[in-house]
Copies of this chain bind each other. A is one copy, B any other.
């Protein structure tokens, strides 16, 4: 039966069907470290919408599960492909099809890498704002499938705010064009938004119409502030938000994270126990805003340094961007992703401290403090997440929910958080969501076992 499926795929798609052991092994995992069980049937390297449609027709005819995949940089196992499944790679469909600076839109294929897209857009004076930390390696299609966020979201929005339409191949191979090219449009239900963040459970994104912004004129000012502990830094970041000034970036690193990155980058060790905020302002009044923010931070007990220029500002941000490599030097990292209302950041850090005590764990944490999204890291030895870590993670999720927050700000549910999904949604909404997915995919062949699996 499996060999029949591969044979059918080969008939339709020839050498775009890959069954090399290395390739089959690679698609079993994403950047979460978690891997699926079993060996996938095949990886199909789609080169066109027609290829995707052909795969889905074979899959429907043979009831074979299909896992859509971009660059495999997800952190929740959403693109992991296991035994009996087809991995459908969109990575090769990477063209920028159209740029319209006058309409502030671009049409792209899903496999284009976020940073590559922005490099192509820059000469036109425009950019696509979503900036996940993975932007140098993650695809726009993957950003859409996960509803990705990033550092700039409080000021410039998340993926949901930056997509006008998507082209979607359904489970049975039909192609739908969802959404609009116009700024406004309310024709029926907003299926574009429904697809954003649906993690491959509703269809295969084969194209997107993106909402662009003009490049930001004016200067950028970057500053850091050191605090005696993470709670003080969190209180200060909430004070910045409450002051009414909107920084482009406001990142928080706790003491463990900061020390680990300084070690990795061979920088002088920060004062013991120090947490740090890194803030960037941009636009026509960036300097005024940076001055006002520096005052708020100083009043909150921070020791402020302002970068002399863009190059020095980039160095300060590089410290934040080195967080994940620094964690990898310590062991295997499970990167969590809870998000809370901004005013609840100090309380969430208290909860993390409590969980560290209760479970005798160290949980190095960075946060997109401008939008309330925290990335607590659990670091351990070996490939498998120890039970104690999942117990602690569960406490983390429940604490975020109690504070009015969510399990996942930008990484998605995938396989790693599916067992807590109903805790947030409630059973009624969980079932409603799953039933909606079944309308798109009545046979249950689209990324089964992800998000809604019991």
A180-B406, A181-B341, A185-B406 known, 20 other contacts, Cβ within 8 Å: A100-B341, A176-B429, A177-B429, A181-B404, A181-B405, A182-B371, A182-B373, A182-B405, A183-B372, A183-B409, A186-B197, A186-B410, A188-B425, A188-B429, A188-B433, A189-B197, A191-B433, A285-B285, A436-B439, A439-B439
What's the number of copies of this chain in the assembled complex?
Answer: 2
Determine the distance from Cα of A214 to Cα of B186 in the docked complex, in whole angstroms: 26
Subset of 25 A-B contacts with CB under 8 Å? A102-B242, A102-B342, A104-B342, A153-B183, A157-B161, A174-B428, A176-B429, A177-B426, A181-B405, A182-B341, A182-B373, A182-B405, A182-B406, A182-B409, A183-B373, A184-B339, A184-B373, A184-B406, A185-B405, A185-B406, A187-B413, A188-B413, A188-B425, A189-B202, A190-B197
Range for the number of chain A residues in contact with chain B: 35 or more
Residue A421 lies at the interface, judged by CB distance under 8 Å to chain B: yes
A186–B146 touching, CB < 8 Å: yes
Query: Which residues from chain B contact A383 at a C-beta distance below 8 Å?
Result: none
Cβ of A226 within 8 Å of any chain B Cβ, yes or no, is no
A197 to B178 CA separation, bound complex (whole angstroms): 15
- Contact A435–B439 (Cβ < 8 Å): yes
User: In the assembled complex, how far is the CB of residue A385 from the closest CB belonging to chain B, in whole angstroms?
Assistant: 20
B183 and A154 contacting across the interface, CB-CB below 8 Å: yes
Question: Cβ of B190 and Cβ of A149 under 8 Å apart?
Answer: no
Chain B residues with CB under 8 Å of A371's CB are 182-184
Give the residues in chain B near A187, CB-CB below 8 Å: 406-408, 413, 421, 424-425
A194 to B146, CA, bound (A): 17
Contact B153 A105 (CB under 8 A): no
Q: Which of A171-220 contact B (CB under 8 A)?
A: 174, 176-178, 180-191, 193-194, 196-198, 202, 214
B184 near A372: Cβ-Cβ < 8 Å: yes
Contact B408 A189 (CB under 8 A): no
With an 8 A cutoff between CB atoms, is A389 at the interface? no
Which A374-412 residues sit within 8 Å CB-CB of chain B?
Answer: 404-412
Are B342's CB and A184's CB within 8 A? no
Say if the beta carbon of A238 comes within 8 Å of chain B.
yes
* Nearest-neighbor residue (CB-CB) of A239 within chain B: B102
Q: Judge if A451 is at the interface, Cβ distance under 8 Å.
A: yes
Instruction: Answer yes or no: A19 CB below 8 A from chain B CBs.
Output: no
Q: Is the C-beta of A246 less than 8 angstroms from some C-beta in chain B?
A: yes
A349 interfacial contact with B, CB 8 Å: no
Question: Cα distance A343–B184 when bound, in Å?
Answer: 14
What residues of B have a CB within 8 angstroms of the CB of A284 in the complex? 284-285
- A residues in contact (CB < 8 Å) with B: 100-105, 125, 146-147, 149, 153-154, 157-158, 160-161, 170, 174, 176-178, 180-191, 193-194, 196-198, 202, 214, 238, 241-242, 244, 246, 284-285, 339-343, 368, 371-373, 404-413, 421, 424-426, 428-430, 432-433, 435-437, 439-440, 451-452
Closest residue on chain B to residue A412 by CB atoms: B186
| A437 smallest CB distance to B (angstroms) | 7
CB-contact partner of A436 in B125, B176, B372, B436, under 8 A: B436
Q: Which residues of B contact A177 (CB under 8 A)?
A: 426, 429
Contacts of A183 in B (CB 8 A): 153-154, 158, 339, 342, 371-373, 409
Smallest CB gap from A246: residue in B: B214
Q: A102-B342, A406-B180 are in contact. Are A198 and B189 (CB under 8 A)?
A: yes
Expressed in whole angstroms, the minimum distance between the Cβ of A234 and any Cβ of chain B is 13
Taking A187-B413, A189-B194 as contacts, is the C-beta distance between A343 and B103 under 8 angstroms?
Answer: yes
CA–CA, A180 to B339, complex, Å? Answer: 9
Contact in complex: B176, A428 (CB < 8 Å): yes
A166 to chain B, nearest CB (A): 12
Task: Give Cα distance in the complex from A373 to B184, angstroms.
Answer: 7
A184 touches B149 (CB 8 A): yes
Which residues of the other chain, B, contact A342 by a CB distance below 8 angstroms?
A: 102-104, 183
A453 to B314, CA, bound (A): 56
B186 near A102 with CB under 8 A, answer no
Measured CB to CB, the nearest residue on chain B to A181 is B404
Q: How distant is the Cα of A172 from the Cα of B103 in the complex, in angstroms?
A: 43
Nearest 5 Cβ contacts at the A-B interface: A193-B193, A184-B409, A183-B371, A147-B186, A185-B406
For the complex, give the distance between the alpha carbons of A197 and B154 in Å. 24
